[in-house]
Amino acid sequence: MAAHPASPAPVSVRRDLHSAPLLVAARGGAPERVPVWFMRQAGRSLPEYRALRTGHPMLPSCFDPAMVCEITMQPVRRHRVDAAVLYSDIVVPLYAAGIGVEIIAGTGPVVAEPVRTAADVERLPDLEPEQVAPIVAAIGLLLRELGDTPLIGFAGAPFTLASYLVEGGPSRNHERTKALMRSEPDLWHALMRKLAGITSVFLQAQVEAGVDAVQLFDSWAGALSERDYREYVLPHSAGVLAGLADAGVPRFHFGVGTGELLGAMAEAGADVVGVDWRVPLDVAARRAGGTRPVQGNLDPAVLFADRASIESEVRRILDEGRRTPGHVFNLGHGVLPDTDPDVLTRLVELVHARTP
């Protein structure tokens, strides 16, 4: 990885945002309005993001504090969302640690040397806090810009990172990953422990820098049965979340296609369980144990429909959210790149206008 530019000193004093709607909802309280933010809101559909990113590869841009700050702020300024999410990527901690990974346009993360043997796992480096110093510096810049808007930090969960490393890149069927889990469980758990350590260091650095909440993304966990999730994944995600139990920030946990895993994902220790669009929000809350707030869950594709259809879906989800222990409005996955930014802005206005 290239050397990082000099970074300004981070802000170390945590802001007092006790009454921010996002944090109130995450604690199961009654916020003044249902909070809303969007996964992948930092860029993706915004022309100002695309202009700024021109000529700047994804992963190096995540280590430019000024760029991270500006990209993170863009959707906050435009949409007036209730939280900023740190501009980063799931594979950033791998890249920071020195693991050969790059993001190929149209493909996604591609790993130079896939991890499939005990020797491969042994060669994986640990992540040291100083290796993410530019990201800590970016958080410091953001805390000075955000005012009373919470900042969400995030990381990829160990299983999703393992899938990229074992497959060598994105996979439809995760066949190599599942084969390794079953054929060599000791090796699999060694890999997951290594990745849980990397994830924990990355999240802890963000918390110490001052983020107000964290989200653990297990993008590919929905490829697993509940039985396999409990045996091969749950202990490691639980370890990551347990390491933040005393950090004083809400812990969100989200995966795609995880409707059958919501109970197990809640048991991993999250304070808020993210829900994709496949399960009604109130049903999802019951599956997650009936005591935790939930986040979600508008289908991102609905944003391409007519205005009346969008408003109908938003009303339905808000009604379902009222029957849960707490609700943070979001999409059921990330913003699609061709989404009209004005539609996202109107969506925020609609959610705020219809609450509490």
Is the Cβ–Cβ distance between 214 and 153 less than 8 Å? yes
The residues annotated as belonging to the active site are 40, 44, 53, 89, 164
**DSSP class of residue 36?**
B
Q: How far is CA 248 from CA 21, 82, 172, 210, 211, in A?
A: 16, 19, 37, 11, 10
Tokens for 328, please give them. Answer: 């943070």
Burial class for 2, CB neighbours closer than 10 Å (0-12, 13-18, 19+): exposed
Q: Which amino acid is at 240?
A: V
H or E element in which residue 255 lies: strand 251-255
Q: How far is CA 176 from CA 162, 166, 173, 181, 222, in A?
A: 11, 7, 9, 9, 16
